[in-house]
Amino acid sequence: MNDLVLRAKHWQVFLLLLGPHFLSWYTTDSITDRVLGFLCAFTLLSWLVLQSSELLALRPKQDGYSNTWLLIDGFLVLAAWGYSAISEDPNFYISTTGWRVNGTVGWLFLYVIFAYLHVHWFAASLLQAVETGQRPDTRKTVLWFLMYFFWPFGVWFIQPRLNKLLEEAEWEKKALEELGTEKQAS
């Protein structure tokens, strides 16, 4: 299992996510600012999607978690952000500090906002499901959703939990392997 996202330490994830975000504040060139803004969104969404994919492998088998829906939502958000970065359309602009959408495309942008929030909610709900072994209730998921949404603060709490979940999964796998070798020896 490629568990790099679950193995990473909180400070590593923080620096990776903060790098392009911080650099975009200090650029004066609009093209560089747009590219860094897209890179910031790309790294954040990649962290969320990769983490969710790894957690899907660790979760108890439950219905209701669709990796396909998560990937489509992540792709739509990145496509909208990429279009905003490439085109210089004054009616459609997304940056790390705000957004502006005018016209009929505003209705489509409502789904992009939903998709962005859904990627965060999916990761928060899945983290709770893996920890508890059952589908979480909304009340418990809201706290983790807020930590994912406000990632500069939340990453300090989320990533250690992910590290712990991976460690527990490795111990469980190792114990099952040792149990299997003991049965073969007897």
Distance between start and end Cα atoms, the chain: 30
Q: Look at residue 124 in the predicted model and tell me its pLDDT.
A: 93
Which DSSP category does 137 fall into?
Answer: P
Q: How far apart are CA 5 and CA 88, in angstroms?
A: 34
Q: How far apart are CA 163 and CA 3, in angstroms?
A: 10
What would the mean pLDDT of 121-144 be, rounded to a whole number? 87
Q: How far apart are CA 115 and CA 139, in angstroms?
A: 20
Strand ranges for the chain from DSSP E: 92-94, 99-101
Q: How far apart are CA 148 and CA 44, in angstroms?
A: 10
Residue pair 110/123 in contact (Cβ under 8 Å)? The answer is no
Q: Look at residue 1 in the predicted model and tell me its pLDDT.
A: 42
pLDDT digits (tens, 9 = 90+) for 39-84: 988 999 998 998 888 888 877 666 677 788 899 999 999 999 888 8
DSSP, collapsed to helix, strand or coil, labels residue 61 as coil
Q: How far apart are CA 72 and CA 88, in angstroms?
A: 25
pLDDT digits (tens, 9 = 90+) for 147-179: 999 988 888 998 888 888 888 888 888 888 777
Q: How far apart are CA 10 and CA 33, in angstroms?
A: 26
- pTM for the model: 0.83
